[in-house]
Amino acid sequence: MRQVYLLCLLFIGCSSNLPGERTVEDDLGRTVVLPPTIERITTLAPSVTELAFAAGAGSKIVGVSTFDDYPPAVDTLPRYDMLPTDFEAIVALDPELVLASEQVNSLKDIDIFSSVGIPVYFVAVNTLPDVTRAIRALGELLGTTEAATRRAIQLEDSLAQLSALTVSLSERPRTLFLIDDVTLYAFGQGSYIHDMIDLAGGHSITQTMTTRFPVLTDEFVLDARPEVIVGSFGLSYDATKLVSHHATWDIVPAVLSGRVYGLHPDPYLRPGPRLVSGAWALAKILHPDAVIDP
Amino acid sequence: MNRWAIGLLILAFFSVIISVSTGDEVSFSEALSVLWHHLTFGYGTVPDPIADRIVWRLRLPRALLALIVGGGLGIIGAAMQALVRNPLAEPYILGISSGATAGASLFYLGFLPPLISKAVSMPVAAFAGGLCAILIVYSVAGGRGHLSVTRLLLAGVAVASLMGALSSFITLSSPEPDKLRSVLFWLLGSLHLATWSTLIWPSIAVLIGLISLLVLARPLDGMLTGDESAHSLGVQVESIKRILIILASLVTGSIVAASGAIGFVGLIVPHAVRSVTGVTHRRVLPASFIAGAVFLLWADLVARAILPGAQLPVGIVTALCGVPFFLILLRRSNYGFG
């Protein structure tokens, strides 16, 4: 089957599909040709694994990267390296489709997968609504529309509930989200993190920065005077460490009022379904009095 | 003091002023008033605490670190070029920077325990790494009683590759993968971790380097003429070579620990300087120091200013601005070397 497909590419061009094949467009606008049903998939990033599970297609995943650790069902799956991509191990698992993340995977990987006839579908989550859009799209792609829709509605309800609690709050603390506490990596323009902060009732101070992952200067933070600093440093993060790395921040409002918090990194650094719980956790930090669990 | 030296010093002074007063966060006049307040020990109006922190505790140490690192790279580049009598030489070519980077990464990524504090153990690890690299190179090149420049260069390039591979290995197999992002930024060469206390070690090392090299200025001139004629001029060639190598490890190690591996300054600056001053080290060394310092300061200004609120590793800027400038210089100038 695969050889025939390759021959098609070589001699006829990609326009003529085999019977039953479908053509879909992925989040990068690429045209992806898929077999009629898909039973075996592999994922190239933890975030797309989580999205595929949310779409009800977890049982179709036959292998995940060594970075994957969620949901617990991935523990028993075969693993492959992603630094660099271990193509041989992935091809050996014989997937009918490879799911990739626009945030972390390289477009160059496509060439190698397509040379062995495995289609690659890229998922891009750059806003909070993108999460449920991606879940629905994956449900349709993998034939699990019903489960995907159910989960998507559940997540949207949860977001709506949070929004109802925070939308009318007049006090919206200026919030800085940091990825690293020494070298100040942060989220710039066009990231879902600003949606999360906004929904949680805050105002993200890096949302207009022109690069995607800017490294902030200490003076930017001093001048922007964030009222809350949160970072993907882990829940046990000792907030005094931040000031020991950045001694001049002793007069930043967030530091003065003791509002520096470490967060569990995954719900913020993995653009998947857990962004929703991440937004709730953030809201409880920003507005402890107004936001309580539903 | 020649006219050019005074000119360079004035340029350095005004570059510092421009550097600390450039940026969206603090206005030019506000920055000047902060400087005035501190330099006169509290005379004048007490500055706004935020402007004070930005100018006096962030920008000024960063500008001074740029001067020290750039100056240090400049003089070590000049000394290395005299040592191997080859215009290609710089701290990188002999594997010192790569060794220092490998040593510092071992520490940075959690393979080595911090000895006393990070401020002390990182330069020590970098110095040890640099020294280790140069000792390998040296023992290969100096096998038969005297140091062969050809073997020194070849062994240096080989050890640099080895140490580079070691750094990559350390980076990719780190027990603390969360630190990779920081390490990447530092590996590309950046001054963003500058504070008054991180200035201490590089300043001491660079000062030792500068003074020692100035003392050795005449023997260095002799070495440009070749080992035999240097010897006949009364230069203790072999011991000078050893001293140069130790000095280069010391200065490069402390620089790498503070700012990562910043490329091209050590290569370009001495050449640019020689096209103005000629090859005499009594002039080349101080001029390389000031020119390297000013060059890196301006490169860092670009690295800070190019993205509002954010920054780039300065190593990228030194390569982007330095290399075209170097190529133009190479095409135009026609100075003799040795």
* B182 or B294, which is more confident: B294
In a domain, B338, yes or no: no
How far is C-alpha A52 from the geometric centre of its chain's CA atoms?
12
Q: How confident is the model at residue B1 (pLDDT cuts 50, 70, 90)?
A: low
Q: What is the pLDDT of residue A9?
A: 43
Domain that holds residue B202: 3-332
DSSP symbols for B49-106: HHHHIIIIIIIHHHHHHHHHHHHHHHHHHHHHHHHHT-TT--TTTTTHHHHHHHHHHH
Residues paired with residue A123 on neighbouring β-strands, in sequence order: A101
Q: How far is CA A27 from CA B123, B147, B195, B205, in A?
A: 47, 61, 44, 53
In a domain, B61, yes or no: yes
Please report residues of A whose CB lies closer than 8 A to that of B24. Answer: 223
Altogether, the residues listed in chain A come to a count of: 294
B311/A215 touch (CB, cutoff 8 Å), yes or no: yes
In a domain, B137, yes or no: yes
B304/A217 touch (CB, cutoff 8 Å), yes or no: yes
In a domain, B15, yes or no: yes
In a domain, B199, yes or no: yes
Closest residue in A to B182 (Cα) is A183
**Shortest Cα distance, chain B CAs vs residue A268, angstroms:** 14
pLDDT (mean) for B138-164: 81
Please report residues of B whose CB lies closer than 8 A to that of A81. Answer: none
Residue whose C-alpha is closest to residue A24's, from A10, A3, A38: A38
Identity at B153, one-letter amino acid code: L
Domain count, chain B: 1
Q: Report pLDDT digits (tens) over A46-96.
A: 999 999 999 999 999 999 999 999 999 999 999 998 878 899 999 999 999
Please report residues of A whose CB lies closer than 8 A to that of B168. Answer: none
Chain B residues with at least one Cβ partner in A under 8 Å = 23-26, 49-50, 53-54, 57-59, 172, 178, 181-182, 185-186, 192-193, 195, 304, 307-312
Does A10 have pLDDT greater than 50?
A: no
Q: How far is CA B213 from CA B75, B82, B123, B308, in A?
A: 8, 11, 21, 40
pLDDT (mean) for A196-211: 94
What value does the mean pLDDT of chain B take?
Answer: 84
Q: How confident is the model at residue A1 (pLDDT cuts 50, 70, 90)?
A: very low
Task: Report the percentage of chain B scoring pLDDT > 70.
Answer: 91
Q: Report pLDDT digits (tens) over A221-265.
A: 999 999 999 999 999 999 999 999 999 999 999 999 999 999 999
In a domain, B194, yes or no: yes
A215/B310 touch (CB, cutoff 8 Å), yes or no: yes
Does B116 have pLDDT greater than 80?
A: no
Q: Report pLDDT digits (tens) over B183-223.
A: 778 888 888 888 898 898 899 999 999 999 999 999 999 88
Please report residues of A whose CB lies closer than 8 A to that of B53. Answer: 219, 222, 248, 251
Q: What is the pLDDT of residue B94?
A: 78
A211/B307 touch (CB, cutoff 8 Å), yes or no: yes
Q: Report pLDDT digits (tens) over B36-58.
A: 888 888 777 788 889 999 999 99
Does B277 have pLDDT greater than 70?
A: yes
Judge contact between A73 and A54, C-beta under 8 A: no
B309/A209 touch (CB, cutoff 8 Å), yes or no: yes
A216/B186 touch (CB, cutoff 8 Å), yes or no: no
**Shortest Cα distance, chain A CAs vs residue B179, angstroms:** 8
Spatial CB neighbours of A247, under 8 Å, sequence gap ≥ 6: B57, B195
B182/A217 touch (CB, cutoff 8 Å), yes or no: no
CATH numbers and ranges of domains, chain A: 2-150 (3.40.50.1980), 169-286 (3.40.50.1980)
Q: How far apart are CA B192 and CA B85, in angstroms?
A: 35
A120 SS3 class: strand
Residue whose C-alpha is closest to residue A213's, from B181, B59, B320: B181
Q: Report pLDDT digits (tens) over A15-44.
A: 445 667 889 999 999 999 999 999 999 999
Judge contact between A261 and A229, C-beta under 8 A: yes
Name the least confident of A130-134, B209-213, B237-241: B237-241
Q: CATH number, domain at B32?
A: 1.10.3470.10
In a domain, B337, yes or no: no
Q: How confident is the model at residue B113 (pLDDT cuts 50, 70, 90)?
A: low
Does A14 have pLDDT greater than 50?
A: no
Does B260 have pLDDT greater than 60?
A: yes
Q: How confident is the model at residue B334 (pLDDT cuts 50, 70, 90)?
A: low
DSSP symbols for B180-230: HHHHHHHHT---TT--TGGGHHHHHHHHHHHHHHHHTHHHHHHHTT-HHHH
A216/B309 touch (CB, cutoff 8 Å), yes or no: yes
Q: What is the pLDDT of residue A227?
A: 97
Q: What is the pLDDT of residue A172?
A: 95
Does B63 have pLDDT greater than 90?
A: yes
Structure tokens at A62: 């036959």
Cβ-nearest to B192 among A183, A206, A223: A183
DSSP state of A273: T
Judge contact between A95 and A233, C-beta under 8 A: no
Closest residue in B to A221 (Cα) is B309
pLDDT (mean) for B286-314: 90
Task: Name residue, tokens 């906004």.
Answer: A198
Judge contact between A228 and A254, C-beta under 8 A: yes
Q: Report pLDDT digits (tens) over A136-195.
A: 999 999 999 999 999 999 999 999 999 999 999 999 999 999 999 988 999 999 999 999
Judge contact between B72 and B206, C-beta under 8 A: yes
Q: What is the pLDDT of residue B227?
A: 76
B24/A223 touch (CB, cutoff 8 Å), yes or no: yes
In a domain, B109, yes or no: yes
A71 has a chain B CB within 8 A of its CB:
no
Whole-complex ipTM: 0.76
Q: What is the pLDDT of residue A294?
A: 61
A69 has a chain B CB within 8 A of its CB:
no
What are the φ/ψ torsions at residue B147 (nearest 5 degrees)? -85, 120
Cβ-nearest to B58 among A83, A182, A248: A248
Q: How confident is the model at residue A11 (pLDDT cuts 50, 70, 90)?
A: very low
DSSP symbols for B263-319: -SHHHHHHHHHHHHH-S-HHHHHHHHHHHHHHHHHHHHHHHHHSSTTB---HHHHHH
Cβ-nearest to B58 among A83, A180, A218: A218
Q: What is the pLDDT of residue B42?
A: 78
Structure tokens at B67: 């001067």
Does B337 have pLDDT greater than 60?
A: no
A41 SS3 class: strand
Please report residues of B whose CB lies closer than 8 A to that of A219. Answer: 23, 25-26, 53-54, 58-59
Cβ-nearest to B311 among A179, A217, A247: A217
Q: What is the pLDDT of residue B325?
A: 75
User: Residue A138: in which H helix or E strand, if any?
Assistant: helix A128-142
A185/B172 touch (CB, cutoff 8 Å), yes or no: no
Q: How far is CA B58 from CA A227, A247, B54, B262, in A?
A: 21, 10, 5, 20
